[in-house]
């Protein structure tokens, strides 16, 4: 038996991809990071991120086009909430310092990225017009990095049981994904 819910709650039943953290730098080099729940793969090396056009992150993307997208693990809820609790423009110094979020430097872009993420992707904006019009950020993955101890080279995928990604449910509530199942 099914229960009908309000249409404006559809996103809570149909979550996007895993929770992600998006990292950018402003024109003057100030780093910024935010949490986002609405995202999905678009192609084998392209991602879709849906962002509010008024966010500091959106302004940074418009001004620079490079971003780093990280997939945090289930033990990083505190960091996800900290990154999502304040706008970069409201920080007096550096959002990561003010919010006490540990970061490390991305390999090529040298952007801060949440330390210990399951994976991160160095990307460039692929369609500026789409982003300006709809807030849909279509990005091309330039470099992809995964935690080495969680990657199975033979299957070219995460190892069974290791992908403890988070999916947003409501407010500060998440569910975990990651148990690999097959039809064997």
pLDDT digits (tens, 9 = 90+) for 46-63: 999 999 999 899 999 999
* Burial of residue 23 (number of CB atoms within 10 Å: 0-12, 13-18, 19+): buried
pLDDT band, very low/low/confident/very high, at 178 (cuts 50, 70, 90): low
Q: What is the mean pLDDT of the chain?
A: 85
Lowest pLDDT segment from 36-40, 58-62, 101-105, 172-176: 172-176
For residue 136, list its beta bridge partners: 50
SS3 for the chain, per residue?
Answer: CCCCCCHHHHHHHCCCCCCEEEEEECCCCCEEEEEECCEEEEECCEEEEECCCCCHHHHHHHHHCEEEEEECCHHHHHHHHHHHCCCHHHCCCCHHHHCCCCEEECCCCCCEEECCCCEEEEEEECCHHHHHHHCEEEEEEEEEEECHHHEECCCCEECCCCCCCEEEEECCEEEECCCCCCCC
Query: What is the domain partition of the chain in residue ranges?
Result: 7-176
The predicted model gives 117-121 an average pLDDT of 90
Q: Are 72 and 118 within 8 A, CB to CB?
A: yes
pLDDT of residue 15: 63
What pLDDT band is residue 16 in, cutting at 50, 70 and 90?
Answer: low
- The confidence band for 182, taking pLDDT boundaries of 50, 70 and 90, is low
Q: Which CATH number fits domain 7-176: 3.40.50.10680, 2.30.110.10, 3.40.50.300, 3.40.50.2300?
A: 2.30.110.10
pLDDT tens figures, 122-167: 999 999 999 999 999 999 999 999 888 888 888 787 777 665 777 7
Residue 100: the pLDDT is 81
Residue 50 confidence (pLDDT): 93
CB environment 59-94: b (16+ within 10 A), e (fewer): bbbbebbbbbbbbbbbebbebbebbbeeebeebeee
pTM of the model: 0.85
CB 114 within 8 A of CB 121: no
**CA-to-CA distance for 134 and 149, rounded, in angstroms?**
38
Under 8 Å between Cβ of 63 and 149 = no
């Amino acid at each position: 038996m099914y229960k009908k819910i309000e249409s404006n709650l559809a996103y809570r039943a149909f979550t996007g991809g895993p929770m992600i953290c998006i990292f950018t730098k402003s024109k003057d080099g100030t780093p910024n990071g935010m949490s986002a729940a609405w995202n999905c793969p678009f192609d084998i090396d392209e991602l879709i991120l849906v962002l509010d056009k008024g966010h500091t992150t959106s302004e940074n993307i418009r001004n620079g086009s490079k971003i780093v997208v990280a997939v945090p693990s289930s033990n990083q809820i505190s960091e996800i909430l900290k990154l999502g609790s304040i706008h970069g423009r409201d920080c007096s110094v550096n959002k990561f310092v003010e919010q006490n979020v540990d970061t490390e430097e991305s390999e090529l872009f040298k952007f801060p990225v949440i330390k210990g993420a399951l994976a991160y992707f160095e990307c460039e904006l692929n369609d500026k017009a789409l982003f300006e019009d709809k807030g849909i950020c279509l990005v091309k993955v330039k470099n992809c990095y995964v935690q080495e101890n969680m990657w199975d080279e033979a299957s070219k995928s995460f190892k069974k049981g290791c992908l403890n990604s988070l999916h947003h449910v409501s407010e500060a509530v998440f569910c975990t994904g990651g148990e690999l199942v097959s039809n064997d």
